[in-house]
């Protein structure tokens, strides 16, 4: 019996590399959704709850205050308002007062969004530590190696998840937290006779600040590569407790260098080793570079210092620092070693 065209099996084309990589990213997200998504969301919700409690306590305190509320304006005048009438206060604000109010609102928004970023640092650190170790521990690596997926693709998906996916989700949670905080603040302002648009949404720049923090993600992804590379190398190499190996090797090396003044051979102090080696291996997941710290030190003390920290021109200037790219190159080398170890490591 001759086979017809309808009865012949149709050969399916192999999955495109892009589709495979998307599948790997989805795998990482679904396996770690609690840390990737819910941890920063819950952190933001807790910060909002504490803010709401503080606002309630402040409102009760203002209502029960026996003395009038006094405000000192920049022109030397003192204004006393019985019952804290923010509407009357807004009418007396000078142009300079309004400029300071705008800076204060932007700084307050950033402060309100800090909690998701704090959680993000811990999620990135421990995700990288377990990225290659956990799959060997539970033997799931055998299943994934049975699929037509290369070690390079797998490790790269974990690197992208650590440096881009986790920061992106944390940033989105921070932005939502920031806008929710402004809504709470608006309720507080309206409760005391103020106009939220005039005192909060108008002077503040929530959309601009949101765009700033989103634009900073690629820069800090490059900055984090040494830490991500070191943690994943320990995750691929350690047979047990990768956390201790990742932590103790840099710290003990720093103690050795300090005790025996090794860096004097290079006309450098021990603090150079701690800041350029130990800190880069362990603290790169913190979205703050040494260049950022120097810029903050050079700014005039004021409320706009934190906002100046996240301006795109300032953040992207980190890419013009040799330290950023040297660290990135070292991180890539460690990731290549981690990929090699994943290919040959056997827990048998």
Q: Which domain holds residue 308?
A: 29-343
pLDDT computed for residue 44 by the predictor:
95
pTM: 0.85
Domains in the chain, number = 1
φ/ψ of 238, rounded to 5, equals -65, 135
Is 266 exposed, middle or buried (CB count within 10 Å of its CB: 0-12, 13-18, 19+)? exposed
Pick from 286, 303, 292, 294: which is nearest to 109 by CA? 303
Which H or E element spans position 88? helix 86-91
Pick from 207, 178, 204: which is nearest to 117 by CA? 178
- What are the b/e assignments for 237-248, b being 16+ CB within 10 Å? bbeeebbebbee
Q: Is 21 part of a structural domain of the chain?
A: no
Which H or E element spans position 34? none
Sign of the torsion formed by the C-alpha atoms of 183, 186, 191 and 195: negative
Q: Is 20 part of a structural domain of the chain?
A: no
Please enumerate in sequence order all residues whose Cβ is within 8 A of that of 219, keeping only pairs 6 or more positions apart, or say none: 315, 316, 318, 319
Q: Is 37 part of a structural domain of the chain?
A: yes
- Give the separation between CA 340 and CA 342, rounded to whole angstroms: 5
pLDDT computed for residue 81 by the predictor:
47
Q: Is 11 part of a structural domain of the chain?
A: no
Q: Is 1 part of a structural domain of the chain?
A: no
pLDDT computed for residue 345 by the predictor:
62
Q: Give CB contacts under 8 A, 24+ apart, made by 235-242.
A: 235/128, 235/129, 235/130, 235/131, 235/132, 235/133, 235/338, 236/132, 236/133, 236/337, 236/338, 236/339, 236/341, 236/342, 236/345, 237/338, 237/341, 237/345, 238/133, 239/347, 242/129, 242/130, 242/133
- Give the separation between CA 230 and CA 106, rounded to whole angstroms: 36
pLDDT in tens, the chain (348 residues): 454 545 545 445 455 678 889 999 999 999 999 999 999 999 999 999 999 998 888 777 766 654 555 555 555 655 454 455 555 555 566 666 666 777 788 888 888 889 999 999 999 999 999 999 988 887 776 666 667 678 889 999 999 999 999 999 999 999 999 999 999 988 888 877 777 888 788 788 899 999 999 999 999 999 999 999 999 999 999 988 999 999 999 999 999 999 998 899 889 999 999 999 999 999 999 999 988 888 877 665 554 556 777 889 889 999 999 999 999 999 999 999 999 988 776 444
Strand partners, 81: 69
Please enumerate in sequence order all residues whose Cβ is within 8 A of that of 257, keeping only pairs 6 or more positions apart, or say none: 263, 270, 273
The count of other CB atoms within 10 Å of the CB of residue 136 is 18
Q: Is 261 part of a structural domain of the chain?
A: yes
Q: Is 3 part of a structural domain of the chain?
A: no
Q: Is 23 part of a structural domain of the chain?
A: no
């Amino acid at each position: 019996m001759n086979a017809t065209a309808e009865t012949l099996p149709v050969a399916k084309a192999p999955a495109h590399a892009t589709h495979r990589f998307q599948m790997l990213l989805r795998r990482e997200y679904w396996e770690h959704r609690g840390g990737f998504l819910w941890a920063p969301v819950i952190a933001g919700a807790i910060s909002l709850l504490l803010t709401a409690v503080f606002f309630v306590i402040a409102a009760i305190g203002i209502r029960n205050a026996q003395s009038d509320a006094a405000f000192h304006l920049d022109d030397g005048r003192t204004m006393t308002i019985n019952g804290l009438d923010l509407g009357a206060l807004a009418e007396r604000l000078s142009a300079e007062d309004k400029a300071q109010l705008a800076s204060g609102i932007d700084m307050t928004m950033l402060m309100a969004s800090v909690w998701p970023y704090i959680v993000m640092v811990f999620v990135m650190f421990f995700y990288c530590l377990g990225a290659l170790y956990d799959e060997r521990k539970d033997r799931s690596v055998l299943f994934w190696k049975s699929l037509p997926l290369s070690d390079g693709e797998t490790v790269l998906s974990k690197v992208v998840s650590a440096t881009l996916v986790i920061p992106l989700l944390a940033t989105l949670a921070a932005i939502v937290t920031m806008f929710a905080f402004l809504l709470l603040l608006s309720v507080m302002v309206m409760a005391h006779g103020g106009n939220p648009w005039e005192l909060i949404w108008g002077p503040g720049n929530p959309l601009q600040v949101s765009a700033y923090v989103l634009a900073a993600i690629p820069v800090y992804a490059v900055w984090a590569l040494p830490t991500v590379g070191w943690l994943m190398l320990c995750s691929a190499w350690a047979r047990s407790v990768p956390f201790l190996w990742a932590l103790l090797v840099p710290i003990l090396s720093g103690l050795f260098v300090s005790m025996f003044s090794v860096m004097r051979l290079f006309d450098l102090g021990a603090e150079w080793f701690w800041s350029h080696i130990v800190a880069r291996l362990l603290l790169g997941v913190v979205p703050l570079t040494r260049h950022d710290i120097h810029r903050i030190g050079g700014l005039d003390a004021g409320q706009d210092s934190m906002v100046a920290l996240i301006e795109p021109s300032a953040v992207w200037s980190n890419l013009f620092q040799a330290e950023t790219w040297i660290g990135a190159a070292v991180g890539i080398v460690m990731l290549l070693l981690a990929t090699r170890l994943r290919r040959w490591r056997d827990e048998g």
